Amino acid sequence: MCGIAGIIHLDGPGDVGREMTKMLQSMKHRGPDSAGYALYGEPKDHLVMRFKLADPNDTSDFDFSERLERSRREVESRLSKIGASVDRVDGESAYAYRAEFRYEGELKPLADYVENIPGCEVLSLGHSLEIVKDLGDANTVAGQYKLDAFRGTHAIGHVRMATESDVDIAGAHPYWAYPFSDVAVVHNGQLTNYHQWRRRLERSGHRFQSECDSEIIAVYLAERLADGLSLETAMKQSLEDLDGVFTYLVVTEDSLGMAKDEMAAKPLVLHQADNLVALASEESAIRAVLPQEIDSYDPYEKEVLVWSR
């Protein structure tokens, strides 16, 4: 059992970091192992890359810090070698980092070059998307990465109970749609044709950092967006191509979307107002940020909804 949540401000930025923490923390019982955020600030003229160089489960031997510092310097060096103009690289935790840089080339060779450094994983890359995920509940992760101060227009989040894989960052949601800018997904459920779609997408040159089917959905959608489909059309097509029982949320630079499969067995509750949309696996998550009297409802089976700011 896991929990997913999303929120979008339709009339300007809001405290999406603090709001998402409240929503996810209210669903801690659905997934205490890890918490993850895909947060969207105002679009920037430079790129923001979130990456990690180790996992919290890694053994911290005597030269752990020195090794990570050498790897951090190598990331900065490779960004420069590939043609990026690096503005800054900041440590966000003992093993996670945030880089800002300017780059006009394709993102795939850049991400591949950086990830060729042992232990390195690019968590997100884009002009407004920032993915933060780590072990523990939402309050723990938000405090570690100071997410309560994050202001932006929209966000999705996930709390995970690890049932079929290790408790680590690789298994934590959300997933960036490598190598596409500013697309991320969280998902509750299971794809039954996961291996078929993974092989098909790998033959197209995509790499996957996990065994999680949510990563398949992210890349599937981003590939169709790159082909020129609208987000809504891509999501509707996903309900024809992806088999299983699932509900997912997807975010792009300016939109938030939700889709339910034809069984609609995975829960999702939605509140929609003129200036804000909030949705989550449980109504308690919406109540955590909107304690006043509000209307909410459950989207129908095979329903696709998209909101753009």
Task: Give pLDDT tens digits for 22-61.
Answer: 999 999 999 889 999 999 998 899 999 999 999 888 877 7
Among 170-174, 194-198, 263-267, name the most confident range: 194-198
The residues annotated as belonging to the active site are 2
What pLDDT was estimated at residue 109? Answer: 94
Nearest to 37 by CA among 52, 58, 57, 19: 19
86-105: average pLDDT: 96
What pLDDT was estimated at residue 265? Answer: 83
Is the model's pTM score more than 0.85?
A: yes
Q: Concatenate the DSSP letters of all residues of 174-195 into one string.
A: PEE-TTSTT-EEEEEEEETTHH
Query: Picking from 185-199, 200-214, 240-254, which range would have the lowest pLDDT averaged per residue?
Result: 200-214
Give φ, ψ of 210 to 5 degrees. -145, 180
Query: Over 80: is that where the pLDDT of 69 sits?
Result: yes
Q: What percentage of the chain has pLDDT greater than the value 90? A: 78
Can you give the C-alpha Rg of the chain in angstroms? 18
pLDDT in tens, 221-247: 999 999 999 999 999 999 999 999 999
Can you read off the two tokens belonging to residue 23?
């929503």
